[in-house]
Chain A
Amino acid sequence: MIPADVHPPRASWTRDRGRVVLELSGDWQRGAAEPEITGEPTGSAPDAYATAALGDYDSTLPAFLLARIREGNPDKPSLDGLPPDLHGLLELALAVPEEVEARGTPAEVSEIQKLGTVSIRTWSGVRSIVDFTGHSMMSLGRFFTGRAHFRSREFWLIVQQCGAQALPIVSLISFLIGLIMAFVGNVQLANFGASLYVADLVGIAMVREMGVVMTAIIVSGRTGAAFAAHLGSMKANQEIDALRTFGFNPFDFLVLPRMLALVLMMPLLTIYANLIGMLGGMLVGAAVNIPPALYWYETLTVVNLENAFLGVFKSVFFGIVIAMSGCLQGMHAGNSSAAVGQATTRAVVASITTIIILDSAFAVIFTLLDI
């Protein structure tokens, strides 16, 4: 509500013996209406002000005046005729000239330029991935020759976080996946009276594909994101710089334990997920009158060691992919909390995409090799 005795803000440009005078009147307050501007907009800053009819004001008035002065961009702005408090505030605001260089570059960019920028960015992105991979591999090399070291307590903490603590969610997801596959499979197979083959379907699908891929996706979302966020905030807080200046190699100290932890835990989680998935299938089997012992026996006839090994083999690579994309995005994050969020998103998207692509590649290779 605007009380009745408030006068609307007005500004009017006038000329007085060659000088541009800005006449201000009314109450300039946040709640009030838009200021009404009359007179010729000269484009130059006022040389003097007339404030006889000026009422109450808050920051809206000095903000308005500063904008007009900046528009006119005079060599020496005049503040003649302003009340002392406004005079003081504007003087302070004008004391340090505007840093023109600090403003963003103009938005006018040609298509060619945009293309160039994108190419350069893509190229430097590829280079940073190659660079990062190289450093990680060197770090692995140092580890195997016993020259890299990190804090073993930190390593076991990571193992616990990405292994044991992931069990509940891995259990739930793989149990449901096994259950769904068995359910859908049974609808089809029952038509041929071949319900028992549900066990083969679930067993093969779990150990070759679903177990390892679902685990990798869960671990990407859980652990890969955590790696990116942790390393990203360490970077923002200059903790990684501090490691460097104390002579610690950040790759040995941060990336290596994470990579090793996932290389160790991914196969274990995958084997666990496979078993739980079959358990889900077994439950559906029991519901359609396949006794669990028979279901298990049927599973063992198709799931041999070779099959089971394929999934576990892939899980090692997926573990490396997850650890590397989490750590890469974290270490290359910008220095702000928003940048940490972006890094986390990129880490998860990159690792899930890479995992699916890699899995397709493995499928092709295994088919060609006739495994």
Chain B
Amino acid sequence: MQETTAQAPARAKIAVRGLTMAYGSFVVMRDLNFDVADKDIFVIMGGSGCGKSTLLRHLIGLQEPASGRVLFDGEDFTATPAAERARFIRRFGVMYQSGALWSSLTLAENIAMPLEEHTDLKAKAIRDLVSYKLALVGLSGYEDHYPAQISGGMNKRAGIARAMALDPDILFLDEPGAGLDPLSARRLDDLILRLRDGLGSTIVVVTHELASIFAIANQSVFLDSATRTQGATGNPADLRDHSDNPAVRLFLRRGGETAVPSNTTP
């Protein structure tokens, strides 16, 4: 289990403190508190529509919290004015749930753009890096395709390649495995583990694929849509076996033995 001390966890890569997220007056989740340690593969899990993508958008500063704070390496991100956030954001790599590749650019250009803008690499070196990143996600040869010319799953993988373009310190992936066949999903889990080990990145993954949760995650937070707050934090396998929150156990065991819940009106 994770030792979540209440204050000043200077070690934590990302610290979320009392975070409440809302769209207008509609509160999505309240009072979230968790830490992501350096080189963790941290999974955000929870039922569909419970606010996982919303949480991710809060972590990367695309949405402002209703209350609470997000800290990176102990530095308060939410209190930093938007104009001075560049130094935080420079360290992020983000893959969005829809892929969000720039549709007017080819895959190669999509991955090359951050490299061209933020590094002094020569065109040849950039080309090699682009091919390498595409090869990592199994898309060699698709350099000159436009996002509209490849499938949804391929768009996601290309989105991951783009998120990795600058070898980010922290990688955020929103449902990377959704829409992939079992083999590609497996490859992706492999890739995530290798990225952590090879680059030393901290990786935050939104997912509800149980297989991949148990394969990659060492820490996790469960967002409980019934109570609108976090249900539990900790290692997923521990949570499955020992969590005192029945909703968490149910989720991690795929609702128990039967697929159809038997008269469990919460």
Interface residue ranges, A against B (CB under 8 Å): 76, 88, 91-92, 94-95, 97, 101, 149, 151, 154, 233-234, 237-239, 241-248
Contact = CB atoms under 8 A, between A and B. Distances in A.
A97 B90 CA distance: 43
A95 B100 contact: no
Given A245-B89, A247-B86, A238 B100 contact: yes
A238 B260 contact: no
A239 B101 contact: yes
A95 B266 CA distance: 8
B198 interface: no
A17 B103 CA distance: 67
A238 B265 CA distance: 36
B111 to A, nearest CB: 11
Contact of B265 (A94, A101, A233): A94
Given A239-B103, A241-B62, A247-B86, A97 B96 contact: no
Interface stretch (B112-120, B188-196, B202-210, B237-245): B112-120
Contact of B104 (A76, A95, A154, A238): A154
B103 A101 contact: no
Contact of A237 (B98, B162, B264): B98
B265 A97 contact: yes
B12 interface: no
For B100, B101, B260, B263, the residue with the greatest tally of chain A CB atoms inside 10 Å of its CB is B100
B260 A247 contact: no
A238 B96 CA distance: 7
B92 interface: yes
A76 B266 CA distance: 11
B37 to A, nearest CB: 22
A239 B102 contact: yes
B210 to A, nearest CB: 20
B81 interface: no
Contacts of A234: 102-103
A76 B263 CA distance: 10
B261 A237 contact: no
A357 to B, nearest CB: 33
Contacts of B117: 149, 246-248
24 contacts: A92-B260, A95-B260, A97-B265, A233-B103, A234-B102, A238-B96, A238-B97, A238-B98, A239-B102, A239-B103, A241-B57, A242-B94, A242-B100, A242-B102, A244-B62, A245-B62, A245-B94, A246-B113, A246-B114, A246-B117, A246-B118, A247-B114, A247-B118, A248-B117
For A237, A246, A247, the residue with the greatest tally of chain B CB atoms inside 10 Å of its CB is A246
B139 interface: no
Nearest to A94: B265
Contacts of A243: 102
Contacts of B89: 244-247
A237 B98 CA distance: 7
B60 A101 contact: no
Given A246-B117, A246-B118, A247-B118, 12 more contacts: A95-B261, A151-B113, A154-B104, A233-B103, A239-B100, A241-B94, A242-B96, A242-B100, A242-B162, A245-B60, A245-B92, A247-B86
A247 B85 CA distance: 9
Contacts of B113: 151, 246
A101 B57 CA distance: 23
